[in-house]
Amino acid sequence: MKAISDFSRGLPVRILTVLLVLALTVPAISGCFAYDIIKLLPFKTEETVESEESSGASIEITTENTTIATTEPEPEPVFVQDLAVLERYGVGVDGKTNSSKVSSGDMFELMVESYEAIAGEVDISLMSPFYETSEHIRKLTRLEVYYSDYFYPSEDPAEISYSGASFWLFEIYRALLEKTPERVDERAYPSDLLAYINMSSALSSWRPEAIEKNVFSLSNLLRPLGAFKASQPLTRLNAARMMVAAYEQSTNKSLETWPANKPVDTEDISAWKANNFFVWPESEYFEPDLTGAWNDLYFLGADSYDWQLRSELQPADQACPYGAVVSAFAVLLETAAEFEITTDTELIVLNERPYPWYINQRETGEYGAVNCMPSCIEMSMRYQNLTVVPSAESLRAAWPLDGMGWTDILAEDLMIEHGLVFGTAYATDVETTLQQMMVELDAGNILYVMYIEDYATEGHAVILKGYRVQGDIIEFVVSDPDSSQIGPFGYVEYLRDARIMIEGILKHVPRYFVIPPEENVDEAMG
């Protein structure tokens, strides 16, 4: 016990007692055990021990004549924490500071890398070679998140505002949701709204000096309802409760209750506060038990919450700092990482040419508004790469018909007259016709169809140039002469539910023309 005696002068009696008990009662441990414990104690007798130089905080634990100093690291700023989240998921961080401004190009890069970190690489092998833009925009176009005809014509270097950042965050999150198989259940759950609340709160509440992110849990927002309500489909009342709680905690303000907004069918104070602020019922009834779909942001109230929170916390259209965007993407990544991303692959058939062949009917002269039929004739001839192709405008000029729509008979006669090789097929019922059309598209042919929408009084003509299959959903890839929208493959195109399209064909002209490409003409004629 000599060693213990020498080293124990000045030790408090209770510490010495513990050490003696340990040394005497644990025979399985080395005899040096007690000495080793004492040797590691960082104390000095009858004086204060100063902590070593450190960036962390020093905590002094004092007894009668002994002070033991420990060090705790200073908490990291939210920006550092969020960068670590992005790096963990493999999302590139390019050395910007938290106060750097964010261009649309920066935003698109973060969107694509975040999506691919969760759902895998976006396949752009079918993208149009004539769609001259960055790889990030091509991928967002492929995901049907970016529409260049009415959002951004190019990667604008201008700074992204808080509202712009919020819009793009919601869009890429929606794209991720659509890849999850459980979303076959279209009902919204509290967790769906929570994700939008947390992305908005992280974005608009972000401050460079913060060491904690302003995000919430379901237990926090639905207290005292508990886990039961959190696991049930989201009701309008619970959506109101969640948004009111999150807003009041984020702003440190209590929402006012205006007499004009008091619901007639519930006394819940959150419903009153949220009515015509986050939630916009179609009548005087709040309908507290109403449920909705996960992708209906109007039902969720997510857009309203985002707008109201931004209006309270940020000046209108203020440029959004990089730190705020990174914070919101960290929320997105940690939320989406819990998704079960479907492994089902798309089956895509896309019949295209290595040269442009699309015609916009609005650019075909006097009768452009009704020139869908002659425009489809010109497109068919260009697709087949005929040597001489009359323009839609010249075809209409030869057959003006006082600006009336054309018939399939006239179109057929003109195609024969100008040397187009084609076949004729007939639509019978939806499923049989769908299978026949898919066979033709598989062979590299395009289909010239005439159909009518349920709400329309006149028919329309378009070219079907392919299809996409995802699970039970089959969509035609439509080349429409009366459209200007860049579609998912970078051409002027869009996707349309195939069965609904065929129903429109059956209601209008139940036959269609099959146009083979140049390389299949001999086979078609034989």
Asked if residue 342 belongs to a domain, the reply is no
Same domain membership, residue 493 and residue 408: yes
Complete DSSP assignment for 424-479: EEE--SHHHHHHHHHHHHHTT-EEEEEE--TT-SS-EEEEEEEEEEETTEEEEEEE
Total domains present in the chain: 3
Supply the pLDDT for residue 3: 39
Q: Residue 78: in which H helix or E strand, if any? A: helix 78-88
Q: Is residue 60 part of a domain?
A: yes
Q: In this structure, are residues 55 and 188 in contact, taking their beta carbons and an 8 Å threshold?
A: no
| Listed residues 336, 371, 394: the one ending a domain | 336
Answering whether pTM is above 0.75, one says: yes
Q: Are 440 and 523 in contact (CB under 8 A)?
A: no
For residues 406 and 281, state if they share a domain.
no
Provide the 3-class DSSP secondary structure of residue 177.
Answer: helix
| Residue 510 included in any domain | yes
Same structural domain, 89 and 197: yes
Residue 457 lies in a domain: yes
CATH number of the domain to which 508 belongs: 3.90.70.10
Residue 384 belongs to some domain of the structure: yes
| 63 plus 100 within the same structural domain | no
Confirm whether 129 is domain-assigned. yes
**Residue 58, domain extent:** 2-72
Query: Residues 156, 106: contact at Cβ < 8 Å?
Result: no
DSSP-derived pairing of the beta strands 511-515 and 446-451: antiparallel
Q: Both 100 and 35 in a single domain?
A: no
489 three-state secondary structure: coil
- 431 phi/psi in degrees, rounded to 5: -70, -40
Are residues 400 and 303 located together in one domain of the fold? no
| Residue 344 maps to a domain | no
Neighbours of 275 (CB within 10 A): 22
Same domain? 181 vs 232: yes
Going by C-alpha positions, the residue among 467, 444, 471, 469 that lies closest to residue 479 is 467
- Same domain assignment for residues 153 and 10: no
Indicate whether 290 and 152 sit together in one domain.
yes
- Please give the distance of CA 128 from its chain centroid, rounded to a whole number: 23
Q: Is residue 442 part of a domain?
A: yes
The rounded average pLDDT for each run of 10 residues, N- to C-terminus, in the chain (526 residues) is: 38 38 39 33 35 41 54 83 95 86 92 96 95 94 81 59 93 90 81 96 93 91 71 93 96 95 95 96 93 92 95 84 96 93 84 97 96 98 97 96 93 97 97 98 98 92 96 94 94 96 97 96 80
* Alpha carbon distance 9, 351 (integer Å): 90
> Does 415 share its domain with 490?
yes
Predicted confidence at residue 225, as pLDDT, reads 66
Give the domain-ending residue among 41, 72, 103: 72
- Asked if 117 contacts 89 with a C-beta cutoff of 8 angstroms, the reply is yes
Residues 291 and 261 in one domain: yes
| 214 and 166, same domain (yes or no) | yes
Domain boundary among the residues 42, 72, 102 is at: 72
